[in-house]
Amino acid sequence: TNAKMLRAKARKKKQGGNDDFDDDLWKKEKEKDTFGGRKKMKKKRKSGKDGSLLKDVVAIGILICFFLFVVSLYFKEPRGQRVFVKTKTEKNKKRLKTKVIAIGDVHGDEDVLRRLLFATGATDKVLGEDVKWVKERNERTVLVQTGDVVDRGKDSIGSFTFIRDIRAQVLVPGDEDDVDRRQIRLLVGNHELMAIQADYRFVAKEELVALGEAQMEKYGEQVKLHPDSTIGKKALQKVGLLRWKKLFAPDEAFGKEIREFGSVVTVAGEGNCKSAFSHAGVLPEHLKEMKIRSEDYDNTDDSGLKKSLDKVINEHYRNSSKGVQMSGNSWQERSRLPSWINGGDGVFWTREPPDASETNGGCDKIKEIVDLLGVKRMVIGHTVQWQGMNSICGGKLVLIDSGMSYAYGGRKREAFVCEGVNGVPMAVDTNGKSRRI
């Protein structure tokens, strides 16, 4: 403003006026200056000297282009496929990893079975009759029980019933036919084999008494089971034994489970977690006894023309065991089953795999069968590992019978877990703590 006043004063003086400031003249100069300034600004914008507006336009254009680029990446799909918006459920499915859980020898300890399934994330809680399989986080999970659910402990029937009930929650149409690819798979152990052979040497007396009491109660309230009752424990054990034998008969649910749907070996997992699971272990000599040739199977054939080796082995077992019921323990009666099933070195009884080493040639057999099955390792139970789950033969054989049942003192209550394509075998205890095997 001072500059404008000075210019007006100088102009008036030049025109011969006095030095006093003329207010009217100042107003005219101000209007002239303002009008001229606006004209200059307009002229500058037209000539492009002031690029602020252009800069704003460019910046907005860049932001729009970046936004469109991000959106195009989000919806981008392979050529020839329809573009669609992925839902939250579909995104979660993509993030879920394949997971394999294996439970070793339970031996009548329903409590530890429940706790391990909960600790590994398979079920929603431990106690109660309404325990549920958690489908949301286990859509790509396979649960394998490697046999010996029964005997020794007092809850054999409860344990067997519980895991079969959990399996019933995830059965889908078609699973009944393809037993070897169910989401929950129950393998046969030597103690399940003994149950269909009427070998009751290892059935817990407490369980037989409980079965006897339950059976007697069905006859009516006139049977009073108290300390002064004429029905003693031995009598109840005999009644319970009859009930046990009935439960595992060929035409009963448990009996059919072991004979018609039981498995010797199963393959689960992918990538580094792809493993073969068995009770005592399958060896190359067992395949020779079954007369299985290399041309009888193909582990890579997805067309269904040829079956994988594990399916071929299981079919051999089911064809041999269907309908078998023994009445005693004589050698003649047991010979109704082939030696690779019933023999001391058979697939349910052998103790050779845990003793394998590089020096005795055992590890060579393990590596051979692992290659034949097309997996990274074989995982077995049967032989208690007092120090907990461990591996031998360079990780090709994992031993998971940790003596979890209270019948063995509940030494190491652990489950086998391997997750993802690049996962490694882990031992998870009932508290959810894990360690590498």
pLDDT tens sequence across 171-203: 877 666 688 999 999 999 999 999 998 889 999
Amino acid at 252: E
The label of the residue with tokens 């573009």 reads: 83
Report how far apart, in Å, the C-alpha atoms of 5 and of each of 14, 16, 20, 328 are. 14, 17, 11, 128
Q: Is the pLDDT of residue 50 over 80?
A: no
In a 13 Å sphere around the CA of 127, the CA atoms on its Cβ side amount to: 0
**Reported pTM:** 0.77
Q: Is the pLDDT of residue 60 over 90?
A: no
Q: Is the pLDDT of residue 53 over 60?
A: yes
Report how far apart, in Å, the C-alpha atoms of 436 and of each of 287, 372, 390, 413 are. 32, 26, 9, 15
What does the pLDDT read at residue 89? 47
Going by C-alpha positions, the residue among 302, 84, 67 that lies closest to residue 181 is: 302
Three-state DSSP class for 113? helix
Do 290 and 316 contact (CB within 8 A), yes or no? Answer: yes
Q: Is the dihedral of CA 301, 304, 306, 309 positive or negative?
A: positive
Tell me the chain's radius of gyration from C-alpha atoms. Answer: 39
Sheet holding 426-429, edge to edge: 184-186, 141-145, 99-103, 414-419, 426-429, 434-436
Residue 326 DSSP one-character state: -
Sorted by sequence, the CB contacts under 8 Å of residue 256 that are 6+ apart come out as: 250
What does the pLDDT read at residue 88? 47
Among 142-151, 315-324, 336-345, name the most confident range: 142-151
pLDDT 10s digits, 161-177: 999 999 999 987 766 66
- Separation between Cα atoms, residue 246 and residue 269, nearest integer Å: 36
- Separation between Cα atoms, residue 158 and residue 358, nearest integer Å: 41
The label of the residue with tokens 């057999």 reads: 365
Q: What percent of the chain has pLDDT over 90?
A: 62
Report how far apart, in Å, the C-alpha atoms of 319 and of each of 314, 323, 330 are. 9, 9, 22
What does the pLDDT read at residue 54? 73
Q: What angle do CA 125, 126, 130 make, to 5 degrees?
A: 65
Give me 431's structure tokens: 């508290």
What does the pLDDT read at residue 91? 47
- Separation between Cα atoms, residue 101 and residue 122, nearest integer Å: 9
What does the pLDDT read at residue 308? 96
Q: Report phi then psi at 275, rounded to 5.
A: -140, 155
Three-state DSSP class for 349? coil
Q: Distance between the two ends of the chain, CA-based, in angstroms?
A: 87
pLDDT 10s digits, 93-127: 455 789 999 999 999 999 999 999 999 999 999 99
pLDDT 10s digits, 259-307: 999 999 999 999 999 999 999 999 999 999 999 999 999 998 877 778 9
**pLDDT-derived band at 64, boundaries 50, 70, 90:** confident
Report how far apart, in Å, the C-alpha atoms of 37 and of each of 27, 28, 43, 195, 328 are. 15, 14, 10, 106, 117
**pLDDT-derived band at 396, boundaries 50, 70, 90:** very high
What does the pLDDT read at residue 286? 98
Sorted by sequence, the CB contacts under 8 Å of residue 361 that are 6+ apart come out as: none
Q: Which residues of 257-293 are buried (b: 16+ CB within 10 A; e: fewer)?
A: bbbebbbbbbbbbeeebbbbbbbbbbbeebbebbebe
- Separation between Cα atoms, residue 151 and residue 39, nearest integer Å: 103
Q: What percent of the chain has pLDDT over 70?
A: 76
- Separation between Cα atoms, residue 401 and residue 384, nearest integer Å: 5
pLDDT 10s digits, 2-42: 666 666 666 666 565 555 555 555 555 555 555 455 555 55
* 209: exposed, middle or buried (Cβ count in 10 Å: 0-12, 13-18, 19+): buried
The β-bridge partners of 398 are: 379, 391
Amino acid at 282: V
Asked which of 48-57, 299-308, 383-392 is least confident by mean pLDDT, the reply is 48-57
More confident residue, 249 or 92: 249
What does the pLDDT read at residue 84? 38
Sorted by sequence, the CB contacts under 8 Å of residue 30 that are 6+ apart come out as: 4
What does the pLDDT read at residue 55? 74
User: How confident is the prediction for the chain on average, in pLDDT?
Assistant: 84
What does the pLDDT read at residue 302? 73
Report how far apart, in Å, the C-alpha atoms of 179 and of each of 150, 174, 189, 262, 267 are. 21, 9, 17, 8, 12
Going by C-alpha positions, the residue among 121, 161, 117 that lies closest to residue 137 is: 121
